[in-house]
Structure 1
Amino acid sequence: MATPAINIGIEEGARAEIAGGVSRVLADSYSLYLKTHNFHWNVTGPMFNSLHTMFEEQYTELATAVDEIAERIRALGEPAPGSYSEYQKLTAIPEETGNPDANEMLRQLVRDHETVARTAREVFALADEAHDEPTADLLTQRMQLHEKTAWMLRSMLE
């Protein structure tokens, strides 16, 4: 028996385009998750305890978010990317292979949270145009979270 066609009120081409954009949000989010987890493990200095705890809260939130983002891609009828090589092609988050000091970690995370917010904002326009409210809602929530997190991290640098 054939699998029923997806009929959620969004045309197939628009669904594929939106899912492609959401895949970029997923790649950015997963890359940020990995970087934040790395910084959690490797932070040192006088702010160790507060940053270690804060980074854990942030990567835990991101772990939940990547699952929700991937599930939205699936609901749109497309496969969710799930490999490092796919994420590397899709992400705008630069990889950190060194061991920066705590202030540089904060600077990078500010930049990276703002990057995810910008990616989500770009994709929001596609979702909005297609009247894809569930995706638009997800993206709105992600923008709000990443903008707030960037503000909190930036405040620690003042």
Structure 2
Amino acid sequence: MHMDTGISADDRAKIVESLSTVLADAYMLYLKTHNFHWNVTGPMFSALHVMFEQQYTEQWTALDDIAERIRALGHFAPATYKRYAELSNITEEPEVLSAKEMIRQLVDGNEILTRTLRAGVKVADELDDFPTADMLTTRMEVHEKNAWMLRSFLEQGAGAKQGDASSD
């Protein structure tokens, strides 16, 4: 069926290409966060277990929003682990990590996703797709906040000074 929402078919395809990478990164981060929720151990177990659950629960809802935006643009959303692995900039962890390494991995994952989201906003803005740009901007705020909250666990007790870039 013909679609005429003011964005050409070629431009919708460019937006969907960007959104597909966002979806893949978001799914891989969700999966990693859920994995770490199940497998975290150590003295920070309780706090991390709860925080990881809060993050993956929020991420799960966002996955649906991203996939549905792809559908609203007239394309099918990627939906297999194989395709996510091909598209994603975030890799899976084959083994159980220490709590500190889990935190580092999630900081990195949130930052990778934030960069992917930022690139997607640029594509959407250039092609006048304001709903996509708005959704991705909102997601950036969430993942920047998640990275900050996770980073605070790594700075705890390390004698990091406020504004000290070496503690990042």
Under TM normalisation by the shorter chain, which class is it? over 0.9
Given residue 6 of structure 1, which amino acid in structure 2 is its aligned partner?
A: M
Structure 1 match to 2:159: none
Q: How does 1:106-117 map to 2 (within 5 A)?
A: 106-117=103-114
| Cα RMSD, aligned residues only | 0.6
Query: Per-residue deviation at 1:97?
Result: 1.0
- Secondary structure, aligned partner of 1:122: helix
Decide which of 89, 93, 97 is 2:94's aligned counterpart. Answer: 97
Structure 2 match to 1:146: 143
Structure 1 match to 2:121: 124
- What is the distance in 2 between the residues matched to 1:38 and 1:10? 39
Aligned structure 1 segments of 4 or more residues deviating by more than 4 angstroms: none
Query: Per-residue deviation at 1:114?
Result: 0.3
Q: Which runs of 5+ in 2 are unaligned?
A: 156-168
Alignment of 1:11 onto 2:8: yes
How many residues in Structure 1 have an aligned counterpart in Structure 2?
155
TM-score, normalised by the number of residues in structure 2? 0.91
Query: Per-residue deviation at 1:100?
Result: 0.6
Structure 2 match to 1:134: 131
- What is the distance in 2 between the residues matched to 1:58 and 1:107? 15
TM-score, normalised by the number of residues in structure 1? 0.97
Query: Per-residue deviation at 1:140?
Result: 0.1
Query: Per-residue deviation at 1:123?
Result: 1.2
Q: Which runs of 5+ in 1 are unaligned?
A: none
Query: Per-residue deviation at 1:94?
Result: 1.4
